[in-house]
Amino acid sequence: MTTATEALTAAPHPLAGKRMTGAEMVVQVLADEGVDTIFGYSGGAILPTYDAVFRHNEELRDADGQLPMPLIVPANEQGAGFMAAGYARATGRVGVCMVTSGPGATNTVTPVRDCLADSVPIVVICGQVPTHVIGTDAFQEAPVSAIMGSVAKHVFLVTDATRLESTVRTAFEIARSGRPGPVVIDIPKDVQNAIGEFRGTGLLPIKSYRQRVQDVADNALSASAAKAFFQFLGESRRPLLYVGGGVINGGAAPALRRFAERYQVPVATTLMGIGAIDTTSPLSLHMLGMHGTAYANYAVDDCDLLIAVGARFDDRVATDPGSFAPKARKIVHLDVDASEVGKVRNADWYHVGLLARDLDMLTSWGERHNVRTDTSAWLAELQANKDRYALNYDRDSELIQPNFVVEEINKHAKGEAIISTGVGQHQMWAAQYMDFREPRLWLTSGSMGTMGFGLPAAVGAQFAHPERLVIDIDGDASIRMNLGELETVTTYKLPIKIVVLNNFGDGMVRQWQKLFYKGRLSGSDKSLHRKDFVKAAQADGFEYAARLDRKADVPRVVEEFVNFDGPAFLEVIIDQDAGVYPMVGPGLSYDQMITGDFIPNRHEPDEGEEPDGSSMF
C-alpha cells in the first residue's frame, strides 16, 4: 500500500507553495497522512492548531454534514491518549492525540508509556508556551521533552517553524515503522502561529534510524537459514509456537496461521498475542503464562522445540526463565527487534526481520522442499490435555461467578466483537473465556497493566470501527480511573457495551494478598460500596443501565445488554472471593502452577518455599 509520505514524494502536492500558519501545516500533514479522527482536549497553548482543525473541517464538510477529521473531546487528556491507543490497536494505523501544554501534556504520560510498552503507534501533539518563555516557569509550562524522553519512542520539540511540517511527517514515519511506538511533538504557540510556505514534501534527516529500519527490512531469510530451521523442525516431535504481540503489530497473523496449519504446529499466545490465531482453531492452546491455560503451560513444559515469534520471554510468561520450556532441545526466535533476541533466553536459531514476510518465506521454502511433519501424536496429547485441564470454576455456587458472565457474553460476541478491558481479574477472565477469530479484536494494557484503559480504548476502537460490536469488560476499581469517559460514550452516541464486574475492591491485589501475604488486605479491600454505578451511568445519559445480582438472571440480562440498540451499561455483582486460575506465582516454574479447586493439576502441590513480600507483583 502506498503511504501518504510516498505519495507526497511521487508528485507535487496540490497545496505546495501556499502560505500557511504552522498550525495549518500541522493539520494539512495530518490530512495527508490519512488521519480521520483526532482525540484531544483544548487549552491556550494548542488553540491555534485547534482553530486550524475547525476551519479544515468546515471547509471540507460533506453534503451530509460529515467532517473529514472530527475532533473527539474526552473527559481528560489521559482518556484522549487511550482513545488514540484504542484506535491504533484496533486498526494498526497511527492514532492521534492533541492536547495543550503543562497538565494537558503531563496527563498523557501514562498512555504514552503504555503505548511504548505494547508497541502501539500514536502521535501526541502538545501545545507549548512560546519559545521565548520556555524555561521561565511560564503559565502551564512543563518540560515535555524531559518528561517524555524516557517513555516515548521519540520526542520532538519544534523551535524552528521552517522544520515543523517535516517534523510532523517524520513523527508518523517513526511511529509506524520498525517496532511501532508513540511519538510526541511539542510545539510552542509562536511556532503554531508562524507563517511560512507549505512544501508538501520533506522529512527530517534521521539517517541512522532509517538505516536500522531498512536493515531489518532487507534482512530476508537465506536458504541456509531456512534449511537450518527445518532441520530443527524435522527433528522435533513436539514443536510449539510461542506467539507474542509482535505478530499482531507486524500484520503477521495470516502468515502465522498459514505456517501453523501447513506444518500442524500448535500455538500458544501471550496476552498481547491473542487473536494471532483463531482461538477456536484446533491448533490454538489459548494463552500461556502466569494466568494462561493449564494445558498451554503444560505444552510449554513438554515441547521439544519452542518457536518464539514476536515474543520477548517477559516475566508474565517466563516467570522463571531458567525453567521455561525445560525439555526443549532447541529454541528458535523470530522478531523485528534485535534487542529482544537473547535478552532473557538464548536462542539456538534466530532471525531479525519482517515477521509476515519471513513466516511466508519459511512456509514456501518448506513447500518447495517437500517438508513433511507428523505432529498427530503430539496434537492428540494436547487435545487430551485440553479436555482434562480445561478452564473451570464453581458452577454450582449461588453467587454470580465472573467466568459465567464472560462465557455468556462470549456466546453473543461469537469471537467477532472488539473486546477492551481494564486491568485486573476481569482482564484475565476476559482473556481466558472470550474467543477471538481475528487479530486486533483484543485491546488491553499488557506490559504496563494500566487500570482505566478499557473504557477510553473502547471509545477509540468504536470510532475506528463504527460497524463493529465493541464491549468493554471492566472492573469496579479499574473503571473508576477514567469513569468520566462514560459521558464521552453518550455524547457521541457510541453503541459501546460496558460491563463492570463488581467485587467491591481490587480483586487481583486481594488474590495475591490472600496467597502470599497471609490474607492481610492492606489497601485493597476498600469496601467502596458508596458508588452507585447504575445511577452514574444514568446521569451520563445511558438509557440502558442495569444492575445484575441474581445468577438466574444472567443469560437473559446479558442478552438484553449486548443486543441493546445504543450505549449500554451493566453492573454485575460477582463473588468477591472469585479468583483467577490457573496462576503461576512470581519467580515460580510452570510445574508449581496453582490451578485452584476446579481445574485438575498434574503435579502434587509444592511444599517448597513460597514467594515472599519482595516478589515482583
Express each pLDDT in 123-140 by its tens digit.
999 999 999 999 999 999
pLDDT at 6 over 70: no
Task: Count the Cβ atoms, other than its own, within 10 Å of residue 231.
Answer: 12
Task: Count the Cβ atoms, other than its own, within 10 Å of residue 446.
Answer: 25
Model confidence pLDDT, tens digit, residues 185-232: 999 999 999 999 999 999 999 999 999 999 999 999 999 999 999 999
pLDDT at 376 over 50: yes
pLDDT at 614 over 80: no
Model confidence pLDDT, tens digit, residues 463-485: 999 999 999 999 999 999 999 99
pLDDT band, very low/low/confident/very high, at 616 (cuts 50, 70, 90): very low
Phi, psi of 547 (to 5 degrees): -115, 135
Model confidence pLDDT, tens digit, residues 22-47: 999 999 999 999 999 999 999 999 99
Answer whether 4-215 and 402-573 agree in fold: yes
Model confidence pLDDT, tens digit, residues 236-246: 999 999 999 99
* Average pLDDT rounded to a whole number, residues 489-499: 98
pLDDT at 529 over 50: yes
pLDDT at residue 8 in the model = 47
Helix (H, G, I), strand (E, B) or coil at 422: coil
- Say what angle helices 425-433 and 402-413 make with each other, to 10 degrees: 50
* Average pLDDT rounded to a whole number, residues 552-559: 98
> Hey, what CATH topology would domain 402-573 get?
Rossmann fold (3.40.50)
Output the average pLDDT for the chain.
94
Of residues 396 and 522, more confidence is placed in 396
pLDDT at residue 43 in the model = 97
pLDDT at 495 over 90: yes
Helix (H, G, I), strand (E, B) or coil at 68: coil
**Domain locations in the chain as residue ranges:** 4-215, 220-388, 402-573
Single pTM value for the model: 0.94
* Average pLDDT rounded to a whole number, residues 535-555: 98
pLDDT at residue 516 in the model = 79
pLDDT at residue 1 in the model = 42
* Average pLDDT rounded to a whole number, residues 535-560: 98
Alpha helices in 391-484 (DSSP H): 402-413, 425-433, 454-464, 476-480
Question: What is the distance between the alpha carbons of residues 129 and 143, in angstroms, rounded to a whole number?
Answer: 10
pLDDT at residue 305 in the model = 98
Cell numbers found for residue 469: 460490536
pLDDT at 488 over 80: yes
pLDDT at 613 over 50: no
| Percent of the chain whose predicted confidence (pLDDT) is above 90 | 90
pLDDT at residue 526 in the model = 61
pLDDT at 444 over 60: yes
pLDDT at residue 513 in the model = 85
pLDDT band, very low/low/confident/very high, at 605 (cuts 50, 70, 90): low
Model confidence pLDDT, tens digit, residues 287-332: 999 999 999 999 999 999 999 999 999 999 999 999 999 999 999 9
* Average pLDDT rounded to a whole number, residues 513-521: 81
The CATH architecture of the domain made up of 4-215 is 3-Layer(aba) Sandwich (3.40)
pLDDT at 164 over 50: yes
Element (H, E) at 214: helix 207-218
For 375, counting Cβ atoms within 10 Å of its Cβ (0-12 exposed, 13-18 middle, 19+ buried), the class is buried
Of residues 314 and 523, more confidence is placed in 314
Q: Give me the sign of the Cα torsion angle 286, 175, 42, 72.
A: negative
CATH code: domain 220-388 is 3.40.50.1220
pLDDT band, very low/low/confident/very high, at 617 (cuts 50, 70, 90): low
pLDDT at 144 over 50: yes
* Average pLDDT rounded to a whole number, residues 442-449: 96
Question: What is the distance between the alpha carbons of residues 126 and 509, in angstroms, rounded to a whole number?
Answer: 35
| Percent of the chain whose predicted confidence (pLDDT) is above 70 | 95
DSSP secondary structure, 320-381, as one string? SGGGSSTT-SEEEEEES-GGGTTSSS--SEEEES-HHHHHHHHHHHHHHTT-----HHHHHH
Candidates 280, 288, 235, 229; CA nearest to 259 is 229
Q: Catalytic residue numbers?
A: 77, 139-140, 189, 508
pLDDT band, very low/low/confident/very high, at 420 (cuts 50, 70, 90): very high
Task: Count the Cβ atoms, other than its own, within 10 Å of residue 204.
Answer: 16
pLDDT at residue 511 in the model = 82
